[in-house]
Every structure is written in structure tokens, then in C-alpha cells.
Amino acid sequence: MRPCLSHIGVILRIALSTAALLASPGAMAQIVGEKADSPPNEGRYLYKPVPDILVHSWPEEAVRLSELWRERPILLTLIFTRCAGVCSPLLRSLKAAIASIGGAGREYTLVVLSFDARDTPSDMAGLAEHLELSKDRAWIFGVASAEDIARLVRATGFWFEWEEASRQYDHPAMVIGIREGRIVRFLIGGTVSPVRVQEVVREMRGEFVPAYPLPRRNVLFRCFQYDPTSGRWRPDWGFLLLLIPGTMTILGTVWIFRRERKHRAWEDRESS
Amino acid sequence: MAERTVVSPVWLGMEQQRWRRLTSTWMMVMLLLFPILLLLGAFMRIVQANLLPTLLPEWFYAVMTLHGLGMVGTWFVGAMAAVSYILTQYVRPSRKVSWTALGATLLGVVLLLATTLVGRFGVGWYFLYPLPFYPAGIWPTWATWAFLFSLAILGVGWTIWAVDLLRAIAQHYSLRAALAWHYIRGETEPEIPPAVLITTVSLISALSGFLAAVIILVLSFLEWAGTGFTNDALLMKNLIFFFGHVLVNITMYLGVVLVYDVLPRYSGRPWKTNRIVAIAWNTVLFLVLFAYFHHLYMDFVQPQWMQVLGQVASYLISVPAAVVTIFSTLLLVYGASMRWTLSSLLMYLGVMGWAIGGVAAVIDSTIAVNLRFHNTLWVPAHFHTYYLMGVVLMLLGFAAHFGLEVSERPENGRLAKLIAALFVIGGYGFLSMFYVGGAHSVPRRYAVYPQEVMQGVDYARIALGFIAVLFLGVLLYLWETGRRCALAFRTSESS
Ligand code: HEM
Ligand SMILES: [Cu+2]
């Protein structure tokens, strides 16, 4: 019954930037990970282990993901600092969502990791500064070795590709919920709504989240409509369809017996 | 039961011969499909016992689908055919409709064989939405189409059949009389044979189930025809279990009709409708639409009141009808000068199997228990109990009775007891391995057991021994009864 996120019809691509002036890192003109037109299919990665990679942050600090997830669940996101597209809006909306639900650093840690080999720990520190998050201990901005990034990408369904024309990486926007080293949820898309993050946090806490909105439209006869802000659902008229068989049977049976009544009277006369 | 007058004198001659031909044809189809489907069941246990390590698991699922649907369908049509024959004592169903239903059934079976054994369509017997639409490269598109098509054919054929039987009843009884409402008020005139009451209840339920199936098919075709619509999974699941639960349930009830009608002939005591019988079966009719909710206990979106209703309905629907039937059976047999033939032995065992399977089912329909047992082998355990050791034995009992009655060849009493013994040992042995598996958390529908539930492999191996014993019993039974049914076919008039 769990709706999966693979059905989002929207393809998330980075907006092209005309102002990209940076030199192309020749060695990276390739796809890392399994590129797909649709966002990673959550179902394929759910409860799979995440590689325990080493994250370097500024200044000169290195921490293993396992050290983090042993303490509390992690919300991980992969970006690159020179992004002219979705990365920045993604981080801003994540920050806003986190601020509104609270609990960062207490219930979970946020890890922002660059997949771009050109990024250094200090680039990442700059990004944190820019987002006014450098003082927040709940947020870790870092980089990792190219091999580690490749392992992480393979384990999570993330991918990125260098596009020479725009001099930008094409990549999906996603936040990955990790509990005790395993993937528990994906949040796909450039905007992160507080309700959805709240769900992921509850899920990472080990709580059972019974429903979240199915990003499919055109559903015929829904049983329920789900309201994500209140977390409640109310019956929709698809449920009425369940009354049809019973009602039609009653009517049909009465009809059959009425239709044969003449016959019955005739038989009675004959037998008497 | 005191021999009731037949509908009309004409019936005794040609009509009777024709009904015998029709019924023996149905019985032979049933007795032919049974061993094949049983061997498919054995095949699944062989896979689960790790005896075919190189087999692709999709074969397991294709066979599981064929076995499940095949068994459910076979015993349903067998029961309908047998009940029609019984009903000819009281009313006059159409033979033509029954032959048409046979044609539809055979066509459906051929399509099903193709979808599963050629197309490797492996969604399980109730084809839970949206699985048929996600073949994951295992089965081709035509297999899904052929499957839906075969369901449509079977659905239409069987609906017409059920409507015709109801029509036949309606020609003789008013609806109130057929449902024995006057018994509830304390009157006993006109007399309503239990067979008529229970059949009416079953057929009305069956119609609602088939209508649910129609809605499923229409919605599926709509999604598939590329209208851009997708279906609501919860709605589909509700409809599917509405249909599936009702189909399985009424097969059971039709089996009980046979017991009510045939067993008294071997005990020499009548079995009449009374107030309690009438109340129990009307309760069934009233609640049949709600009991299926117990299949959706794990669907957290389903409203709480439906879950509670599901549990209450499941108890109320099974307990009165089963208790009344079981006690009546015991009373019928106790102290009577019972003639123990193959038929009466199997029918008696069938009622006991229903009791045992029913208890296991009621346990599982309790929400608190279902939380643990859901989708473990406990589920196949209970439904195999009331099917294999319940309705199947009742129907085999009927076929034995029919064969004996028509062929007039005396029976080998010792062989009958041997067959019954093999059925009991093989059947319950096989079932016990399902129960033990379920109690030890072995999940259902696993072709290959993962490390965590390796014990399942041992249970599957032990089960195979019991299945062999059961199969031997089935072969002996076929030798006894199959021959008689074939003889009945040859000596009866063709229509
Ligand atoms: C000796 C006879 C039989 C054997 C050996 C047998 C064996 C099996 C096995 C091994 C399974 C798969 C269990 C699992 O989920 O792991 C199964 C499923 C099933 N069987 Fe049987 N069975 C027998 C008789 C019957 C009968 C008489 C019926 C009557 C309706 C029946 C109906 C089903 C159904 C509906 C399923 C479920 C299929 C599904 O999950 O889609 N079986 N059987
Ligand atoms: Cu970006």
C-alpha cells in the first residue's frame, strides 16, 4: 500500500546557466551513477545499506557517516557549490523546512555533501556561511573522495553527469533519510515541504507513517483523499463503488423472484 | 431425508438420464483437474524444499497462480454442478445453461493454462492490483490480456449459471419462502428443504461477488486501454477481496448443501430446516458483504470501523452456520444406524475438516492475531484445511454417492476405509506442515526461503511425504469413483 515516489511525472533537471564560466574538469565528462529520466525509484533502494564513507569538512575535520548515524539518523543531500540550478533552492527550502519543524541536531543530523571533485572543504564552508548555517552544529557541510562519492551514488540511486554545453552537472534533487546505516526514505524534488520532512523524521525515528500523498494524478475513484498538512484522510466517492454489488444484487434478486411469480401461481394451481 | 416428490413425472425418464449425463460430465472434469492441480501443489512444495535449485522462481509463481485459481474454480464449478443435480429434486434448472457454463469453464481453463504455463503470468490467484500491470519483464503483455479475458469469460458463464439456478428456485418458491423467513417466525409450512435455503443464500452472495468482479474487470480494462487513468489501489483491493472471499465462501456453503442433502440418506434420519438453521443462514446472507474486510486488516488507511465490522462479521458469519451444521451432523450420525460408505465417510470427514479449518480461520480473522499471522503460512494452512479437508471431501463424497447411485455397482467397503484413512493421514500431515510453518513465521508465497526462515525448507520436505500418501489415496479414489462416473456418462442419454 505504500505509495512510492517513482511516479512523479516531473523530470528534475538543472536549469541551464549561461553564465557558467568555469573550466571543465575533463576527467569528469562522464556519468557517475545510473542516469535515468525519472527520479530514483525509492522502492529499489529502501532499507539498503549506505556505504560508510569519510566526510571531510572544514577546518580539517573528518567524520565517518557511521559515527554520525550511530548517534542519530541522518538527512543527507548531494549538491555541488557551483550549481546554478536546483542545489541552492533545494538547500534553502530544506533549511526553511527544518527550521519550521525543529529537532535538528537533537533528533537528526543534516549532511550536505558535494559530489563535485573540484569542491574543497573550504568551498563547502563558504556555502554554509552563505546559507547562514556555519554556526549550526546540526549541519555538516563536507566533501569526500571520488571513489567514496561513486560508492555512495551507486548505493542511493543518485547520479550526475557533466554537460559541456552548460558547463554544469545534470543531477536529480533529493534528500535521503538514513537510519542506522540504511536508507529509510527519499525526498525527491527541489522544494522540500515541512510536512514531508516531518514524515521522514518520524519515519527515521522508527515511527510508522501510515500515509503520504501519492504523486499521481488521474486516479479513478479514490477511496480517500489525503490531506498532507493535517495528516488526515476523508472518504471520497470511490468508496460508493463498493455499495454497487450489494445493491444491485438485492435489486436483481427481487427482480428475478418477482418475474417468476406468475410461473409460481401457475404451478400452484396445477399441483392443487 | 424422506424422498421428496420430484418436480414432474417427465423428469423420471429422459430428463433424469440427461441430468445424469450432464452431472457425470461435470464430475469427470472435476476429477480430472483435481489430481493435476494437486501435483502442481506438490511441485510448489518441491521448489520450497530446495529440490530444484536451478529452477527460475517465476515458474513457482506461475504454477502458484494456476494451482490457486484452478483449485478455487474447479471446486466452485464442481459444487455448482453437484448442487444443481441435488436441486432437480425440488426445482427445474436449465441444462442448457449448465452446458454453456461448462463450455465457458473449459475455454477459461485453456486460456489460464496458456497465460500461466506459456506466458508465465505469476500474480497469485487473486491478482492483486496493480501487480498484473507490472510484469517486470517476466510475462508478456498478452498474458495479462488473456488472463483478464479468461476471467471475463468465466465470470459471465458463472453469473448466468447462478442466475439460472436462482430463477429455477424462484419458479417454485417466493423469496421469503426460499430464505425460510417463516421458520424464523416459528412456522414450518411450506416446508423448505435446507438445500433450497442454503443454495438461495449462496447464490445471492455469489451474484454480489461476481458483480464486484465485473467492476474490477471494467476498471482494469479502463486503465489498460490507455485512457490515462490509474486505479485506486485500496478500492481495487476491497473489490478483489469482496469477490475472492465470497467465491471461496460460497463454494464452502454449496459443499454444505450436499452434506445436508446426501448424508441423511446414509443415516436414515431426516435433516430438516428449523428455526435455528434458518436464523444461522440468514445471518450468513446478511453479513456476507462485510466479512471480507478481514483481508484488509493490514491496510491502515481502511477506516477503523470497517476493521471492527470485519472482525465482528467474520465471527458472526462463520460461527452460527458452522456450529449449527456441525452439531446437526453429529446428531445425525450419533446413535444412528449409519451406513458408512465412501460417500458418507468423506462427507462426515468433510464437516469435521470444515470445523477445524473454521477454528483456524476465526483465529486468523482476529485482528490482534492477524497482526502476527498475516501472510505467513498460517493463511494457506487454514484455507487448505477447510478446502482440502472440507469442501473437497464433501464434493468427493458427492461424486462417490452419485457414481454409486447411477452405476449401481456395489462398493468395496475396505477400500473405502483405506481411502478415507489415506486422506486423513496424508491431508492433515500435509496441513500440519503449513501450520507449523505459520506458527514459526515462515512467510507464504516464497519460492525460495531466505536464510532467516530456513526451517521452511524442512517443513516442505516433510510435507512432500504426506502429499505422496494423500496422492495415493486420490488415485485409489479415482479408481473407485472415476470409473463409476465414466460408466454413468456412457450409460446415460446424450442430450
Ligand atoms: C494436496 C493438495 C494440495 C497441495 C499439495 C497444495 C499446495 C499448495 C502450496 C505449496 C501452495 C503455496 C503456499 C505458499 O504460499 O507458499 C498452495 C497455495 C494455494 N492453494 Fe494449494 N495445495 C493443495 C490443495 C489445494 C486445494 C484443494 C485448494 C482449493 C481451493 C488449494 C488452493 C490454493 C490456493 C488458493 C493457494 C494460494 C495461491 C496464491 O497464494 O495465490 N490448494 N497450495
Ligand atoms: Cu545542482
**Domain locations along chain A:** 7-233, 237-272
Number of the ligand closest to the Cα of B35? 1
How does DSSP assign B257-297, residue by residue?
HHHHHHHHHHHT------HHHHHHHHHHHHHTTTGGGGGGT
Strand partners for A61: A57
Q: Where are the domains of chain B?
A: 350-495
With CB atoms and an 8 Å threshold, state whether A248 touches B166. Answer: no
B384 lines ligand 1 (CB under 6 A): yes
Alpha-carbon gap: A246 to the closest alpha carbon of chain B (Å): 6
B44 lines ligand 1 (CB under 6 A): yes
Distance CA B163, CA B177 (A): 18
What pLDDT is recorded for position A27? 43
Please check the confidence at residue A16 and state whether its pLDDT lies above 60.
no
A253 closest CB neighbour out of B166, B233, B234:
B166
Atom number in ligand 1 closest to CA B65: 41
Nearest CA in chain A to B226: A218
A218 closest CB neighbour out of B163, B229, B238:
B229
CB pairs under 8 A between A and B: 99
Cα angle vertex B201, ends A262, B309, to 5°? 135
| CATH tag for A7-233 (out of 3.30.465.10, 1.20.59.10, 3.40.30.10, 3.40.50.1110) | 3.40.30.10
In the structure grid, which three cell numbers stand for residue B348, read together?
A: 462426515
Q: CB atoms < 10 A from the CB of B265, how many?
A: 18
In the structure grid, which three cell numbers stand for residue B193, read together?
A: 428443504
Nearest CA in chain A to B237: A1
Lowest-pLDDT choice from A44-48, A58-62, A125-129, B196-200: A58-62
B470 lines ligand 1 (CB under 6 A): yes
Higher confidence at residue A223 or residue B127? B127
Return the residue whose CA atom lies nearest to atom 40 of ligand 1: B124
Distance CA B58, CA A163 (A): 41
Collapsing DSSP states into helix, strand and coil, what is residue B50?
coil
Q: Which of residues 365-394 of B touch A (CB under 8 A)?
A: none
Evaluate whether B224 touches B133 at the Cβ level (below 8 Å).
Answer: yes
The H or E element that residue A79 is part of is strand A74-79
B245 lines ligand 1 (CB under 6 A): no
How does DSSP assign A37-57, residue by residue?
SS---HHHHTTPBPP--EEEE
Nearest CA in chain B to A268: B172
pLDDT band at A182 (very low <50, low <70, confident <90, very high): very high
Evaluate whether A93 touches A101 at the Cβ level (below 8 Å).
Answer: no
Q: What is the pLDDT along chain B (495 residues), one digit of tens a residue?
A: 333 433 444 456 788 889 999 999 999 999 999 999 999 999 999 999 999 999 999 999 999 999 999 999 999 999 999 999 999 999 999 999 999 999 999 999 999 999 999 999 999 988 888 888 888 889 999 999 999 999 999 999 999 999 999 999 999 999 999 999 999 999 888 899 999 999 999 999 999 999 999 999 999 988 888 777 888 888 888 899 999 999 998 999 999 999 999 999 998 888 888 898 899 889 888 887 777 778 877 777 777 777 788 787 777 777 777 888 888 888 888 877 888 999 999 999 999 998 888 888 778 777 777 777 888 999 899 899 989 999 999 999 999 999 998 888 888 889 999 999 999 999 999 999 999 999 998 999 999 999 889 999 999 999 999 999 999 999 999 999 998 988 888 888 664
| Residue numbers in B near A247 (CB within 8 A) | none
Please check the confidence at residue A161 and state whether its pLDDT lies above 70.
yes
Mutation target among B207, B220, B238 for the A interface, most CBs of A within 10 A: B207
Please check the confidence at residue A73 and state whether its pLDDT lies above 80.
yes
Nearest CA in chain A to B8: A271
What pLDDT is recorded for position A222? 79
* pTM of the predicted structure, to 2 decimals: 0.80
Return the residue whose CA atom lies nearest to atom 19 of ligand 1: B68
> Helix H segments across B296-412?
304-333, 342-364, 367-373, 378-386, 392-407
Alpha-carbon gap: B206 to the closest alpha carbon of chain A (Å): 9
In the structure grid, which three cell numbers stand for residue A31, read together?
A: 556519468
Distance CA A187, CA A228 (A): 14
* Helix, strand, coil abundance in chain B, percent, nearest 5: 75, 0, 25
| Residue numbers in A near B163 (CB within 8 A) | 252, 256
